[in-house]
Structure 1
C-alpha cells in the first residue's frame, strides 16, 4: 500500500469522526453565515442558544440535516486532499533533496513549498467535491416550515384546536436538495460558489503550512534534546492542529461566508438584497446592506467548530497512519521471513 493511499484513507477516517462530533455546530454556523434578515441579526444569539432553538422549533434531526451527504463529502474531500497532498509533498521532498545535493538549501521542504503543495491539493479537492458541499449547504440551511390550515367554513364554527394546529411541510432530503439546485441553475448550479471556494484553498494551505512548520520545530527540539527522541504524542498533534486551524480560520473567514451565501437557496422574488448573481454581486450587497460586520457572522461558532474538528482530524489521522504503517511493515516482515525459509 502506497504512503499516499495510507494518508488518503487515514484522512477520510479522521474527517468522518471529526464531522460526526462537531456537525451540530457546523449546521448552526452555516445558518448564522447565511442569515440576511436585519431584524434577526440585530440580536446576538449564541451557538448554544441557537442549537436549543432549532431543537425546540424543528426537532433534533434538523441539527443533523445533510449529515449523510456531508459524511460522503468529508470522506471524499479528506481522502482526495490527503492523497494528492502526499503525492505533491513527496515530489517536493525529492526536489528539495536534489537541490541540496547541488548545494542549494538544507534538503527539507520550505514554508513556501509547503504552501504550494497544500494549495495544489486543495484545488484538486475543490473541483472534484464542490457539488457535494452545495447540497450539504442547502440541507443545513433548510428550515422546517409550519403553516396554519385555512378552513373553508366560518372560523366561528371551527374548534380552537383546528385553528391553532400546524401542518409540517414534507420531509426535505438529499434528492430534494439535488433537484432544487438543478431546477435553479442546471448542472452548473452544483459548482456555485466554486470561485470563493478556490480562494478558500488558502485556508487549508495556511493551516498545513502552520502545522508542518510547528511540527518540524517541535521535532527539531526533541532531536536536539538529551533524549534525542523526535516522537510526537497524540495530544501534541491535537494542539498543533488546533493552533494551525485557528490561524487559518481567522484569516479566511469572510470568503467562507460569501461561499455559504452563494450556495444557499437564492430568493428570486421580493427584496433584491436576498438574491446574489455571483461572487462580486454578493460582496457588494453584503457591504451595502450589512457592512463589513456581515463578513464575520458566526465567526466565534466557526472557530470553535473548525478548530475542534481540525484538532480531532489531525490526531485521528496521525494515529491511523501510524497503525497502518506498522501493519504494512509487519506484513512485509512476515512475507520476507516466509520467503527466506527453505521449502
Structure 2
C-alpha cells in the first residue's frame, strides 16, 4: 500500500470522526452565515451558539441539528481522502525535486514554506472540483427549516416582500429530494454553485497545512537534538488547532459568501436577498448588510472548525502510524524463513 493511499484513507477516517463530533455546531454555523440582517431593518436580538442550537431543537426537533449528515459524511470522507491522497502525491514529487537540487549543491533538500503552500493549494483545488456538488447538497439540507405540519412560508402576493404561512401537503426533504430541487432550479451547473469562492478558499487548508507542517517540522528538529522525533497525540491535536485557528480567521468572509450562494435562493420577493453570482453576492452584502455580514457566526465556526481540525489531525496521524506499524510487521513476518 502506497504512502499516499495510507494518508488518504487515514484522512477520510479522521474526517468522519471529527464531523460526527462537531456536526450540530456546523449546522448552526451554516444557518448563521446564511441569515440576512439588512440595514435599516429592525434589529433582532442576536442568539449565541448555544441559544441558537436550543431554538432549532425547540422549534424543529433534534433531528434538524443533523440535517444532511449522511451526504456530509460521504462528502467528508471523499474530501479528506482526495485531499490527503493528492497532497501526499504532490508532496512526494516536491520532496524528490528538492533532493535532486541538493545533489546539485542547491538547497538543503527540505521542502520550503512556499512549496508546502503550493502543494496544499493544488491538492485543495482538485478536492474542490471533485466534491463541490456534495457540499451544495449538504448546505441546502442544513439550511432547510422544518415548518409546522401542513404549513409552508411563501411570498404573498408575489409582488411584495411579505411572507405568509399557507397550508400545503408536507413533503420529505431528504437527499434525493434536495438533488432534484437543485437540478430543477439550475440544472447540472447548480451543483457547482459557490465553486469560485470555494476555489479561492483553498488558501484556508493550504495556509492550515503550511502552518501545521512548518510547526511540526520545527518540533521534530527540536526533538531530534535530544535523540527523538516522536510527537504525541496531544501535541498533534494542539498543532492542528493552532494551524486551523490562523487559517479560519483569515479566510472566513469567503466561507460566508460560499454558504450564501449554495443555500436556497429567494427568487421572488426581496431582490436584495437573491444572488446571481459571487461578485453580486459580495456587492449586495456590502451594500445592504455592511462588513459585519461577512463575519456572521465566526465564533461558532472557530469553535467547530478548530476542534474538528485538531481531532482530524490527531486521529489521522495515529491511523497512519498504526497502518505503517501493521505493514512493517506483516513484511517482517513474510521475510522470516519458514
Q: TM-score range by the shorter chain?
A: over 0.9
Structure 2: runs of 5+ lacking an equivalent:
152-166
Q: CA 1:186/1:62 → structure 2, altered by over 3 Å: closer, same or farther?
A: same
CA distance 1:323–1:238, change in 2 (3 Å):
same
2:232 is aligned with 1:230? no
Give the number of aligned pairs.
Answer: 321
Q: Does 1:35 align with 2:35?
A: yes
> 1:169: Cα distance to partner?
3.1
Could you tell me the TM-score, scaled by structure 1's length? 0.91
Q: Do the aligned partners of 1:67 and 1:136 also contact (CA within 8 Å) in 2?
A: yes
Structure 2 CA distance for aligned equivalents of residues 197 and 148 of structure 1: 36
Distance between the aligned counterparts of 2:134 and 2:17, measured in 1? 18
Q: Residue by residue, what CA displacement relative to the aligned partner does 1:278-334 show, whole Å, maximum 9, x if unpaired? A: 000000000000001100000000000000000000000000000000001111111
Which structure's residues are more often helix, by fraction? 1
Aligned equivalent of 1:74: 76
Query: TM-score normalised to the size of structure 2?
Result: 0.92
1:73–1:148 distance in 2 versus 1, CA, 3 Å:
closer
Q: Shift of the alpha carbon at 1:37?
A: 4.0
1:293 maps onto 2:292 in alignment? yes
Contact in 1 for aligned 2:150/2:169 (Cα 8 Å)? no
Say if 2:254 is the partner of 1:252: no
Q: Who is 1:107 aligned against?
A: 109
Q: Spell out the pairing of 1:48-127 with structure 2 (5 A cutoff).
A: 48-127=50-129
User: 1:145-195: per-residue Cα shift (whole Å, max 9, x none)?
Assistant: 12677xxxxxxxxxxxxxxxx988322110111011101100000000000
CA distance in 1, matches of 2:46, 2:103: 58
Map 1:1-343 to 2 at 5 A.
Answer: 1-38=1-38, 42-146=44-148, 169-225=170-226, 228-337=227-336, 340-341=337-338
CA distance in 1: counterparts of 2:30 and 2:43, whole angstroms: 14
List alignment gaps of at least 5 residues for structure 1.
150-165
1:103: Cα distance to partner? 1.3
